[in-house]
Structure 1
């Protein structure tokens, strides 16, 4: 009769068992959160946002003597591509498709009127006003209506984003959008509309004061 030989059984280290148990517990927790089968665990790993910003400080006050006579809303699609010499785009390079929306105001500066720019006859029935030409204000980009459609980045650019926080990642396309909005405003006839609205406003105001004939011209 042959006695069977018992082979030694490999013992699993204790730390391996502890690690396995931890993995199982975490898997159960995350599964419960995802499937919403464990009440109360959904917000266990939730994030909380706190606004720790300081109060806004008033730096200066400036009197405004201009009449904002017209405002234009614009939208532009920016396609910005950056390439690197001797490297393919898949390795180093980026391309961003960005939709920029913003407004531009056209105004007439009434603060620079000189003596002789406003003339009225003795019986105050006729008036002649000479005003400066309308100008465009600074384009204002509406960040709530602007967004990136797509971003394509090379491998090195994606790796760089993992190790750095670049708050100016969209600054280039935003500046480009503002420039294109400005160019569109210059070609839109917005200043001509502002001058027409200013003329209509002043004529209505002076006629309500008793003037029968009001002439408004623009120069400069």
Structure 2
């Protein structure tokens, strides 16, 4: 039993545990002793990793702050930039137009064009493009082709007869903003050829084919008949406002 006099004595300290500074050196350890018993720092590699980690953390924090509006003026050093090196427009010609655009048709066509070779597997040599083309065609009457004597006024000045040239269809205007390639398949040799030299005019064939299809559709759509009717109504309203009671508009054969 412990003596009564030992009850109020302070607790004795536990014996110290051995540390890296107090342990004896290993027999195979040939490194010189560290001054003051300091632990190894890890060398330059560890310092580089710490620096890269801090830099990455700083970039993430700044990008997050910009997204949340804390630093709205902070510029992302990795932001996407676009450089326009286009040349200024060149005016090639000016043409005076004296035409009345009486109608316009908007069309959409789907072009499925495939170019391949006979007796060659498609996975080697094949090019198939599914293109959706959107464009418009104008129908107009060219007033510069009105011949002499085309306007005949009656003796009493109450009626007039006008003979106009037949309406014409303008050039198809392919809208590239609304046109797009829906799907495309190319063989292995086609892809290799694109990697070697490329072809910036590869889609030109489908563009031309889409324009031809739209032009053909405009001819069969009755667009010129609509232009005739609209031009007739325009001239009747204009000439009646000038005092003519009867207005007759006819068209020459196309």
Q: TM-score, normalised by structure 2?
A: 0.70
| Match in the other structure for 1:162 | 195
Tell me if 1:136 matches 2:169. Answer: yes
Deviation of residue 158 (structure 1)?
Answer: 1.0
Of 199, 208, 221, which residue of structure 2 is paired with 1:188? 221
Of 129, 132, 144, which residue of structure 2 is paired with 1:99? 132
Of 104, 109, 115, which residue of structure 2 is paired with 1:82? 115
Deviation of residue 109 (structure 1)?
Answer: 1.0
Structure 2 residue matching 1:111: 3-state secondary structure: helix
Tell me if 1:126 matches 2:154. Answer: no
Q: Which moved more, 1:186-195 or 1:112-121?
A: 112-121
Structure 2 residue matching 1:81: 3-state secondary structure: strand
Q: What is the CA deviation profile of residues 114-168 of structure 1, one whole-angstrom value per residue up to 9, with x for unaligned ones?
A: 1211111133210001111111000000000000000000001111112223211
Deviation of residue 62 (structure 1)?
Answer: 1.0
Structure 1 residue matching 2:145: 3-state secondary structure: coil
Of 121, 139, 151, which residue of structure 1 is paired with 2:184? 151
Structure 1 residue matching 2:192: 3-state secondary structure: helix
- Distance in 1, Cα, partners of 2:105 & 2:146: 26
- Distance in 2, Cα, partners of 1:123 & 1:67: 29
Q: What is the CA deviation profile of residues 164-217 of structure 1, one whole-angstrom value per residue up to 9, with x for unaligned ones?
A: 232112111111000000010000000000000000000000000000000000
- Distance in 1, Cα, partners of 2:134 & 2:153: 44
Structure 2 residue matching 1:165: 3-state secondary structure: coil
| Match in the other structure for 1:64 | 97
List gaps (5 residues or longer) in structure 1. Answer: 1-20
Higher gyration radius (CA) = 2
Q: What is the CA deviation profile of residues 91-125 of structure 1, one whole-angstrom value per residue up to 9, with x for unaligned ones?
A: 00111000000000001111011121111113321
Deviation of residue 45 (structure 1)?
Answer: 4.6
Structure ranking higher on relative contact order (CA contacts 8 Å, 6+ apart): 1
| CA RMSD of superposed structures (Å) | 2.5
| Match in the other structure for 1:179 | 212
Tell me if 1:54 matches 2:72. Answer: no
Deviation of residue 59 (structure 1)?
Answer: 1.8
Q: How many residues were matched structurally?
A: 193
